[in-house]
Structure 1
Amino acid sequence: MPDELEPTVPEGSWASSAARRRNMQAIRSRDTKPEQMIRQLVHAQGFRYRVSARPLPSLRRTADLVFRPAKVAVFIDGCYWHGCPDHYVPPKTNPGYWSDKVLRNMTRDTDTNTQLSKAGWLVLRFWEHEEASLCADKIAAVVVARRRETGKR
């Protein structure tokens, strides 16, 4: 009878169990703590930006911070989801699916960098484990430099 109380996994679901499905659905794709910390520090330095915006309308990918006139796109990548060389640990449950998923994310990240660079954008990528204040300082320095280069705010 206890099995009847456990929600079932929907047909065709990628989750290995109902509990795993709930866990994965709870993971945020935006407004993570590392993103919020970096945004707060960049904002405190007087910079304004778009949050979770498409740098290029034709590209179905969003950057965590977008400085449009300076053409700077900032991504704060999660260590697990983007395959951090220091912290990524292959999954024990359903490893084929999750390892492939992370590999697809890494491939998409590389393609995003290429597409944005071709369009004249500068891409900054940080890992979630990096010190927020160092990331914010680098973002600020790069945006100031790009503004000087382009003569735009």
Structure 2
Amino acid sequence: MSHRSNPESLTPPTPGRSRNMAAIRRRDTKPERAIRSLLHAAGKRYRVDVRLDLEGARPRPDILFTRARVAVFVDGCFWHCCPEHGRQPSVNGGYWGPKLERNIARDRNADAALQDAGWTVVRVWEHEDPGDAAEHILSVLEAASPEQRRTRR
């Protein structure tokens, strides 16, 4: 019998596992800090972990450039199912499978809501080189048209 068909696999994590999960940072992760440091060194100023109340979603981009309307997410490989490093947990799959699927659905919903509201969404993986990620973000910021910048002031 596979662990997916075991009724015990549908239970939430144990108290010990819950403690470990609660200790995982939602913001200020090492990859985020590295990228933010490079963006700051490049003279860019931004807001961190600001919730946006949009039609159909309330995303919290990791890095937010309000004037340029660019929202940056630094996605963790496990939590956002990275195609290169993400993996399905071997224990309690009945809990984790749907949980991770909901994370992906929430990401897509947030992307759509942000784009519908006129934001540009940038997603980078935690495993990406911070310098490469910062360069990508800087290129997106540079591509923001002067007309968009004028109408957002």
Give the TM-score of the pair, scaled to structure 2.
0.85
Higher RCO (Cα < 8 Å, 6 or more apart): 2
Does residue 47 (structure 1) correspond to residue 59 (structure 2)? The answer is no
- Which residue pairs with 1:3 in the alignment? none
Compute the displacement of 1:94 (Å).
0.9
Checking the alignment, whether the CA contact within 8 Å between 2:35 and 2:131 is kept in structure 1 is yes
Q: Which runs of 4 or more aligned residues in structure 1 lie more than 3 Å from their structure 2 counterparts after TM superposition?
A: 55-59
Structure 2 partner of 1:83: 81
Q: RMSD over aligned Cα, in angstroms?
A: 1.7
1:55–1:68 Cα contact (<8 Å) kept = no
| Structure 1 residue aligned with 2:3 | none
Which 5+ residue runs of structure 2 have no aligned equivalent?
1-10
The amino acid of 2:98's aligned partner reads D
Q: Indicate the residue corresponding to 1:21 in structure 2.
A: 18
In the other structure, the counterpart of 1:32 is 29
| Partner AA of 1:21 in structure 2 | S
Give 3-state SS (helix, strand or coil) of 2:122's partner: strand
Deviation at 1:56, TM superposition (A): 4.2
Give me the whole-angstrom Cα distance separating, in 1, the residues matched to 2:53 and 2:137.
19
- Counterpart residue number, 1:109: 107
Percent identical? 47
Taking structure 1 as the reference length, the TM-score comes to 0.85
Say how many residue pairs are matched: 140
Q: Is the 8 A contact 1:55 1:66 kept in 2?
A: no
